[in-house]
Amino acid sequence: MSRIITLASGQFGDIPLEELCRLAASWGYDGLELATHAHFDVQKALRDEGYIPQVKAALAKHKLVCKAISAHLTGQCVGDLWDERLDNFAPAALAGKPAEIRAWAIAEMKDTARAAKKFGVDVVNGFTGSPIWARWYSYPQTSDKMINDGFQLIYDLWTPIFDVFDECGIRFALEVHPSEIAFDYWTTERLFRLFNYRKTLGLNYDPSHLVWQGVNEANFARDFARHIYHVHMKDVKLRKSDRAGLLGSFLPFGDTRRAWDFVSVGHGDVDFDGIIRELNAAGYTGPLSVEWEDSGMERGFGAKEACEYVRRINFSASDAAFDAALHSDS
């Protein structure tokens, strides 16, 4: 199978790039999906002529490639309504300044497209943020106008960003995710309609965020197949409980009292077999990127095991029906 297996670097942001390359190679990965908050500095890429060669040399030394970069934290700051959590995603000097954080994020996302072009990748993964996420539950009453205005604001904020993406020949792959403007099936469909199915906007398909919401992950992949620009391999475990609810109860990830939790690939309830079959049917040949998140497992063990699991299930489509030979020529 031609799909390479990569490791999303964001969850390993405390490890320097050179060391992460060494580890990823030893775990069996073919490449890294470099996160802009951790291992790919957008501004250095644009301003320091020695920076991109340095990054490429670190990858090449360990026979790794990079096919996409992720800018999730920056994108979140574009569309969100500010609260103090966003201060962790923006430059420290902008803390507590909502307008300045949004202006920085818009400019940084445009620069991310320019840096991606210079680096030689054509997909940037990320979030959009959402000005209406806090209104997902219809009490106090949420009007249609509030929702319409929220989607329109995302359109107004992201259209100029996508214009720069188009100028650079870069596609934006949105990760459908709670706290984003598109967080499930119908909000994803609505977002694509809003942008008139603009080819700039596609999906970083991550099934883990769908499964715990009750959305069928294989059907989602089938229906949005032509929009899948990148794939995250991430798992989620559902636990039957008469105490915990799907909203999380403010229990941290890794707490076994939760009704669901992210777990290492192959340890949860995501139908990866069904997903691979849908990706094969869609002709998807891009990376399968392990986004490793499991607060109950040592990450070196987990990252290596996850790579081995994904490689085992990364099968190609058949070139013939299994019963094609069950006939007689007589």
**What class, spelled out in words, does domain 5-313 have in CATH?**
alpha beta
Which tokens sit at 93? 């000097």
What is the tens place of the pLDDT at every residue in 255-283? 999 999 999 999 999 999 999 999 999 99
Distance CA 5, CA 227 (A): 20
What is the tens place of the pLDDT at every residue in 43-69? 999 999 999 999 999 999 999 999 999
Distance CA 143, CA 148 (A): 9
Give me the pLDDT at residue 319, please: 80
Distance CA 82, CA 101 (A): 9
Position 328 confidence tier, pLDDT thresholds 50, 70, 90: low
Give me the pLDDT at residue 323, please: 64
**Which backbone phi and psi does 250 adopt, to 5 degrees?**
60, 25
- Cβ–Cβ < 8 Å for 124, 175: no
Distance CA 162, CA 97 (A): 25
Distance CA 144, CA 109 (A): 29
Question: At residue 227, does pLDDT exceed 70?
Answer: yes
Distance CA 137, CA 48 (A): 46
Bridge partners (DSSP) listed for residue 5: 288
Q: How far apart are the first and last CA of the chain?
A: 37
- Cβ–Cβ < 8 Å for 293, 11: yes
Positive or negative torsion for Cα 163, 169, 173, 179: negative
What is the tens place of the pLDDT at every residue in 71-114? 999 999 999 999 999 999 999 999 999 999 999 999 999 999 99
Position 329 confidence tier, pLDDT thresholds 50, 70, 90: low
Distance CA 226, CA 228 (A): 6
Query: Taking the CB of residue 147, how many other CB atoms lie within 10 A of it?
Result: 16
Distance CA 3, CA 215 (A): 25
Distance CA 232, CA 205 (A): 6
What is the tens place of the pLDDT at every residue in 1-59? 689 999 999 999 999 999 999 999 999 999 999 999 999 999 999 999 999 999 999 99
- Cβ–Cβ < 8 Å for 165, 124: yes
Q: Where are the domains of the chain?
A: 5-313
- Cβ–Cβ < 8 Å for 101, 155: no
Give burial (CB, 10 Å; 0-12/13-18/19+) of 92.
Answer: exposed
Give me the pLDDT at residue 117, please: 98
- Cβ–Cβ < 8 Å for 53, 118: no
- Cβ–Cβ < 8 Å for 311, 2: no
**Which backbone phi and psi does 5 adopt, to 5 degrees?**
-110, 120
Query: Taking the CB of residue 330, how many other CB atoms lie within 10 A of it?
Result: 3
Distance CA 124, CA 204 (A): 9
